A and B are shown apart, each in its own frame.
Chain A
C-alpha cells in the first residue's frame, strides 16, 4: 500500500517532541517515564484512556505544534499541493490499546461528512505502527468501489487483508488523501499505538463538499502559509478593488 503514488512516507523527527508531551501526561496516569509508550496499556486501563487522550490533546494543542510539524513536513507538502496552505486548527491524537474496542474507527472516507476531497492527512505515529495496531488504507480501485456503493445507498463491508495495513515506524509520517477508504480494526497486537493526525489543504482548492462553514477557514482550518507571490497578488487585488 505504501507503493501507491498517492501516499508518501516521509521522515518526521518532530515526533519526539510530541511523544514527550504525551509521555508527560501518561506519567500523571501512573505510566513510568522509562517505559516506552507502546506499553501504555500496562499502566493505564481502557476505561481511563479517553481521559488521558483528552488531557494530552489539550497539552499538544497548547504548544506550537504547527511550527514543529512544519519543520519536518512542510517541504514535502509544498511539493504535493503548493505553498499556500491551510491546516486544521487542532491536531488530533489517537490511542489504540490492545483489544480496546472503543478506539476502533470503522472504514470511511473523510469526504463522508463533506470534507474537501482536496485535503491531505498527515499521520504521525508516536509509536511504531504495524498490523492491526496500525490503520488500513485501500487503494484507488477499492476506494472507488466504496463510493459507488455509497451512492447507491448500499452498505460496504469489505474484507480487510493483512497488506491493507500500513507499517510506519515512529519517526516517520504518512501523507495521504483521506479520500482513500481507511480506518482501523481491533488491535490484536501486544503494543499500544499512539498517533497524531491533522489535515491540510491548498488555500486555492475547492472546499467543503457540503458547503458547510464548519469545514472551512475559521471553524476548521487556519492559514498555515501564504507564499510571497500570493501575498503580493492579494495586495494588488486590494489596491485595485
Chain B
C-alpha cells in the first residue's frame, strides 16, 4: 500500500507533517450555491483524503445569513491550522461582520483551503482572492449577491 502524506505548506521536504483539516460547512446560500451539508461534508472528506490529510468533523455554520458564529468558534481554537471549505464564496458577506472578520484575518497562521476554486491562502489572502473573483465574475453576467 502506498502511504501518502501531505506536506504542510511551507515546510521543507525533510520535515513531514500530517495535515489536519478542520471542515467548515455552510447551510445557507453562498455565492450562487446552495449545497446540502451532507454533500459538502462528503466532498470535504474526499478532498482531505486526496491530500492525505486527517479530517476533523466539520463545524457547520448557523443558517442565519450574515452569521459567522461557527467560523468564530473555529478560529478561536489555537489547534486549528487548516480550515477546508467547499468554496471561497462561503466567506462572502464576512466583511460585513467586522468583529469576526478582524479575528479571521488576525489568524494569519491558518491556511484556508477552498476546494472548488483550488485556492489555499491565509485568511487575508483568501478574502483578497474572493474580492478579485467578485470583481471579475460580474463580467459573466452573474449576480453574486
- Which residues of A pack against B, CB within 8 Å? 111-114, 150-151, 153-155, 209-210, 212-214, 219
10 contacts between A and B (CB under 8 A): A112-B62, A113-B63, A150-B62, A150-B64, A150-B67, A150-B69, A153-B67, A210-B63, A212-B27, A212-B36
Pick the contact of A214 from B38, B69, B73, B97 — CB < 8 Å? B38
Known: A153-B100, A214-B36, A214-B37. A114 touches B72 (CB 8 A): no
Query: For chain B, what secondary structure do more than half of its interface residues adopt (helix, strand, loop), or is it mixed?
Result: loop
Nearest residue (CB) in A for B72 is: A155
Q: In the complex, are the beta carbons of B68 and A113 less than 8 A apart?
A: no
Q: For A212, what are the chain B residues with a Cβ–Cβ distance below 8 Å?
A: 27-28, 34, 36, 63
Q: Mark B15-30, 1 if CB is under 8 A from A, else 0.
A: 0000000000001100
Q: In the complex, are the beta carbons of B68 and A153 less than 8 A apart?
A: yes
Q: State in angstroms the CA–CA spacing of A155 and B73 once bound together.
A: 7
Q: For A209, what are the chain B residues with a Cβ–Cβ distance below 8 Å?
A: 63
Q: State in angstroms the CA–CA spacing of A113 and B64 once bound together.
A: 8
Known: A113-B27, A153-B100, A210-B27. A219 touches B63 (CB 8 A): no
Q: For B61, what are the chain A residues with a Cβ–Cβ distance below 8 Å?
A: 113
B76: CB under 8 A from chain A?
A: yes
Q: In the complex, are the beta carbons of B64 and A151 less than 8 A apart?
A: yes
B136: CB under 8 A from chain A?
A: no
Q: State in angstroms the CA–CA spacing of A150 and B69 once bound together.
A: 6
Nearest residue (CB) in A for B97 is: A153
Counting chain B residues whose Cβ lies within 8 A of the other chain, the interface size class is: 20 to 34
B137: CB under 8 A from chain A?
A: no
Q: In the complex, are the beta carbons of A154 and B69 less than 8 A apart?
A: yes
Q: For B34, what are the chain A residues with a Cβ–Cβ distance below 8 Å?
A: 212
Q: In the complex, are the beta carbons of B27 and A114 less than 8 A apart?
A: yes
Nearest residue (CB) in A for B27 is: A113
Q: For B67, what are the chain A residues with a Cβ–Cβ distance below 8 Å?
A: 150-151, 153
Within 8 A of A (CB), among B83-140: 97, 99-100
- 3 pairs of A and B residues whose beta carbons are closest in the complex: A114-B63, A214-B36, A210-B63
Task: Please indicate which of the listed interface residues A155, A210, A219 has the most CB atoms of chain B within 10 Å of its own CB.
Answer: A210
Known: A153-B97, A210-B28, A214-B37. A113 touches B60 (CB 8 A): yes
Q: State in angstroms the CA–CA spacing of A209 and B34 once bound together.
A: 14
Q: State in angstroms the CA–CA spacing of A33 and B38 once bound together.
A: 35
Q: For A113, what are the chain B residues with a Cβ–Cβ distance below 8 Å?
A: 27, 37, 60-63
Pick the contact of B69 from A155, A210, A213, A219 — CB < 8 Å? A155
Nearest residue (CB) in A for B73 is: A155
Q: How far in angstroms is the closest Cβ of chain B from A44?
A: 20
Q: State in angstroms the CA–CA spacing of A68 and B106 once bound together.
A: 52
Q: How far in angstroms is the closest Cβ of chain A from B58?
A: 11
Q: How far in angstroms is the closest Cβ of chain A from B1?
A: 19
Known: A112-B62, A112-B63. A153 touches B28 (CB 8 A): no
Nearest residue (CB) in A for B67 is: A153
Nearest residue (CB) in B for A105 is: B57
Q: How far in angstroms is the closest Cβ of chain A from B45?
A: 13
